[in-house]
Amino acid sequence: FTAKFDRVKLDHTVIRAPFEVPALSDAVRAAIDQAYSNVHAFHSAQLGADTCIETMPGVKCSRFSRAIERVGLYVPGGTAVLPSSALMLGVPAQVAGCREIVLATPPRSDGSIVPEVLYVAHKVGATAIVKAGGAQAIAAMAYGTETVPKVDKICGPGNQYVTAAKMLAQNDTAAMVAIDMPAGPSEVLVVADATSIPAYVASDLLSQAEHGPDSQVVLLAVDLTDEQLAAIEAQVHEQASRLPRVDIVRQSIPKSYCLRVASMADAIHFSNAYGPEHLILQNDRASDYVADVINAGSVFVGPYSPESCGDYASGTNHTLPTYGFSKMYSGVNTGTFVKHITSQELTREGLANIAQTVMTLAEVEELEAHRNAVAIRLRDM
């Protein structure tokens, strides 16, 4: 499939750590190091403490976390070089303490891995890199092959085929694999009012429109006049014409739209119903409206918070739910790579205190063996 879809014939599909990292420019290395530091700091802060309480005398209940042992990270590479995706997936997996980190990404035409992605794989402690993209990479990690390690959970964004493959694998009991979320083509919703700077609004719309031909950008124009809206449209045209990926923008813009609303209340109501991957609030007093946001992958507040910062280096994660799945899914975070285990320990006194409650409920449910497991111990007290 790699030969068919990526048009590359490979001598070997998997490379294992330690990786030989090609030379990078000082500027690129410094940028990746800074982004790594910020993302690591934010995700380290998400590590929660274990919980242990005594629910009644002699009954101690606890919850503790353990890293998922084997994780697969999908880093797209079809139309762009994306070391940022490797960072956003690899850093929280590293922070969580995953024992095996397998990164899958499409190879270049010569069969090599993009140097920047290879450098990130080294920094996050990846154990293997699979030179494959698309649905075939998802399948290889989900089921395992002679060379590709099987993983317990697959994380990462991709096109509609990658998203479909993740969801299919998750529902196949033979795969025994979980996924982070349905994370498909990129999308952004920008809220603008009369205080917004047209050039800023246009730049944020275009930053997502250039991702791919299936991206969608939405502008909510809050009580804007025809002239104010025309100023934004003019900036979109002017800035788009200078972009190297303008041909991709031309394909994604027809899938996008502008909607006029009368008030911020209407804008927030629409946004919560849409559930955008990225929500950018460029309206007056933007921070006042964050509390009203119910559904969104990530929120960018005010004129100096372009979505690009979240994509690369502010510290938050850019692997986010799309298609409105922010209504029930979170973006990738440290918790994505851990699972929680509960435990209980009862003393002799504790069992005596809770025994009648347990036996009564077991009798209600007509589960005699459950009742007996308590009763047999009571007789020995």
Pick the catalytic residue from 40, 277, 307, 318. Answer: 277
Phi, psi (degrees; rounded to nearest 5) at 216: -135, 135
Q: What share of the chain is helix, strand, coil (3-state, %, to 5)?
A: 45, 20, 40
Q: Are 19 and 118 a contacting pair, CB within 8 Å?
A: yes
Active site residue 370: no
Q: How far apart are CA 115 and CA 315, in angstroms?
A: 22
Strand partners, 155: 73
240 C-beta neighbours (distance < 10 Å), count: 18
Q: Distance between CA atoms of 211 and 248, rounded to whole angstroms?
A: 8
The amino acid sitting at 96 is A
Question: Do the Cβ atoms of 62 and 50 come closer than 8 Å?
Answer: yes
The strand pairing partners of 261, in sequence order, are 222
CA pair distance 87, 68, nearest whole angstrom: 18
Rounded distance between C-alpha atoms, residue 216 and residue 310, angstroms: 18
Instruction: Please say if 277 is a catalytic residue.
Output: yes
User: What's the rounded Cα separation, in Å, for the pair 13 and 145?
Assistant: 11
**CB of 98 within 8 A of CB of 69?**
yes
CB 58 within 8 A of CB 349: yes
DSSP conformational letter for 269? H
Quick one: DSSP state of residue 291?
A: G
Q: Are strands 128-131 and 14-16 parallel, antiparallel or unpaired?
A: antiparallel
Q: Which candidate in 116, 278, 307, 318 is catalytic?
A: 278
SS3 assignment, position 153:
strand
Q: Which of 194, 136, 146 is nearest to 169 (CA)?
A: 136
* Residues recognised as catalytic: 277-278
